[in-house]
Amino acid sequence: MRTIAIYDTTLRDGAQGEGIHFSLSAKMRLAAALDRFGIDYVECGFPASNPADREFFARLPELGLKHARPVAFGSTRRPGSAPGRDAGLRALLESGAPAVAVFGKSWDLHVEHVLKVTRKENLAMIAGSVKHLAKHGLEVFYDAEHFFDGWLADPEYALATLDAALSAGASRIVLCDTNGGRLSTEIAAACMAVKERFPDAAFGIHTHDDCGLAVANALAAAVVGAGLVQGTVNGYGERAGNADLCSLLPCLALKMGYNLSCAPQLKDLRNLSRLVDEMADRRPDPRRPFVGDSAFAHKAGMHADAVAKDPATYEHVPPEAVGNRRRILVSELSGSGNVAVKTREMGLALRKDSRQVGDILDRLERLESGGYQFESADASFKLLVRKTLRKHVPFFELLGFNVVVQKRDAASPATTVATIKVSVGGQTELTAGEGDGPVDALNSALRKVLRRFYPSIDDVALEDYHVRILDPETGTRATTRVLIDSSDGKNHWGTVGVSENIIEASWEALVDSVEYKLILDAATPPPSAPPPAP
């Protein structure tokens, strides 16, 4: 099959998404990660638009990129100016990037009503800009902005803009569905027209997701003959976003058989997705295809049973091919098959028709009828299994806690102190902790009292805290469900607590989080407390 080059624009077009901002250090880290992943081109920014992008280009040589070619992005020259005196083109040359992408207008609506120039002048702007950049030995991409809208409005003029760029020395033309409003059939037809008019020209595709078709439209262009595909990691971008490389790459390589430089690294795709989310300070979308937590999660009992027999029954690709993993969810809808599969993950060989599985399922159903939910609380479910099978020995015993929230006056911030009393290995410990709120204070106090017995709890970070009111019609007496997401840097787990008292529900989820960490570490409760430190 053909080789298709991958062009990432996360650091430029992705950064234009609402709420997305990448610091300079984040851009450096992401550019290096994209290079390691095997991306062919990394669009690093718009050097004429802001000092931050210019500084990024100045720092790029420090990365020593081994595969990816950095690309500087800009526009054609301004109307009425000469290419050699245009500030935007000068910024592209001064960026030091070996490749540049220059966009121009392919839709007569923009030419006449936005640029307010003649069609002839627009063609001269395209040709002059491309020629000026190409003569400096750069690889020049011409981004035909709004090409598909222009082709539908006036196909001859839209094609003339491409001819202007190619005749001036453009290395590749990129057809852009800038408004994201075109259907896949329209994309394919326009690409065929380009291929027929310019059979020797290399062309690429850039799509937006305003109709939810960015990935489909990019794939349609690839089928017709596009040799380069543009997109962003996680689909970040202007308005509804860009084509998501996390879907595009596995579709191109695993399903369509195209040769991609990054294909051997697809097993790291989920990690790349998570890194971009982290650098953008965004919570990962669990329903993101291929890389999301839910992409290979099975809840229905029939599905879980079938996947255990043959994964192909309900998984379109192996999860590990994109760095993901299979998850079997448990709930009152799951049945004994899910419970049996889940317990096998714990190393317990239980048949789904066994009494133990029945006991676990009974307890699960009772708890879920009371408001518990274990789909996002895998650690709490595993603790439930251990307790039901009488395999769990508590690591400590709560003897009591007290939480005091004090606000001295209207202008002063509230302060919270939690006092906690526990028994560990027969020794009673009492301590207090301060925090930004009741849960933070309890967490602080619990760590203080347990640190001497279980030092590894200092590795645990509470990454997220979710509260849901289950029966709001009861007002302040409503039952509250608390979900806590935790991590020790290597493992991630979720725990749940339910109570009419939000602090008690939070405590339950907090204790499960700590105990699960100790189980992961294969810790054992001390038979007796160690002597006090000198």
DSSP string, 237-248: -STT-B-BHHHH
Q: How far apart are CA 202 and CA 281, in angstroms?
A: 37
Domain residue spans of the chain: 5-280, 297-369, 397-520
Residues 419, 432 contacting (CB under 8 angstroms): yes
**Residue 261: other Cβ atoms inside 10 A:** 16
Mean pLDDT, to the nearest integer, of 319-330?
90
| pLDDT beyond 70 at 334 | no
| pLDDT beyond 70 at 533 | no
Q: For position 333, what pLDDT does the model report?
A: 60
Look up residue 89 and give its two tokens. Answer: 């083109």
Lowest average pLDDT, out of 136-145, 330-339, 365-374, 461-470, goes to 330-339
Which residues lie closer than 8 Å to 278 by C-beta, 6 or more apart?
Answer: none
Lowest average pLDDT, out of 209-218, 361-370, 427-436, goes to 361-370
| pLDDT beyond 80 at 510 | yes
207: helix, strand or coil? strand
How many distinct helices (H) and strands (E) make up the chain? 17, 16
Mean pLDDT, to the nearest integer, of 222-248?
97
Which residues lie closer than 8 Å to 368 by C-beta, 6 or more apart?
Answer: 331, 332, 374
What is the DSSP track for 75-125?
EPPPTT--GGG-HHHHHHHHT--SEEEEEEE-SHHHIIIII---HHHHHHH
Mean predicted lDDT score pLDDT of the chain = 91
Fold for 397-520, please state it: Double Stranded RNA Binding Domain (3.30.160)
Which residues lie closer than 8 Å to 511 by C-beta, 6 or more apart?
Answer: 398, 446
Residue-wise pLDDT for 358-374, tens only, equals 888 888 888 888 888 88
228 DSSP β-pair partners? 5, 204
N-terminal to C-terminal alpha carbon distance within the chain: 71
Residues 105, 75 contacting (CB under 8 angstroms): no
b/e burial code for range 21-58 (CB count within 10 A of at least 16 → b) = ebeeebbbbbbbbbbbbbbbbbbbbbbbeeeebbebbe
| pLDDT beyond 50 at 171 | yes
Q: How far apart are CA 419 and CA 404, in angstroms?
A: 8
Residue-wise pLDDT for 439-483, tens only, equals 899 999 999 999 889 999 899 998 888 888 887 777 667 789 999
Q: For position 475, what pLDDT does the model report?
A: 67
Residue-wise pLDDT for 29-53, tens only, equals 999 999 999 999 999 999 988 888 9
Nearest to 235 by CA among 189, 282, 190: 282
Nearest to 246 by CA among 220, 279, 211, 285: 285
Q: How far apart are CA 200 and CA 213, in angstroms?
A: 28
Question: Which pLDDT band, with edges at 50, 70 and 90, does 532 fall under?
Answer: very low
Question: How, if at all, do strands 415-424 and 397-406 pair?
Answer: antiparallel
The amino acid that residue 446 corresponds to is L
Residues 34, 67 contacting (CB under 8 angstroms): no
Superfamily of domain 5-280 in the CATH hierarchy: Aldolase class I (3.20.20.70)
Q: How far apart are CA 532 and CA 520, in angstroms?
A: 26
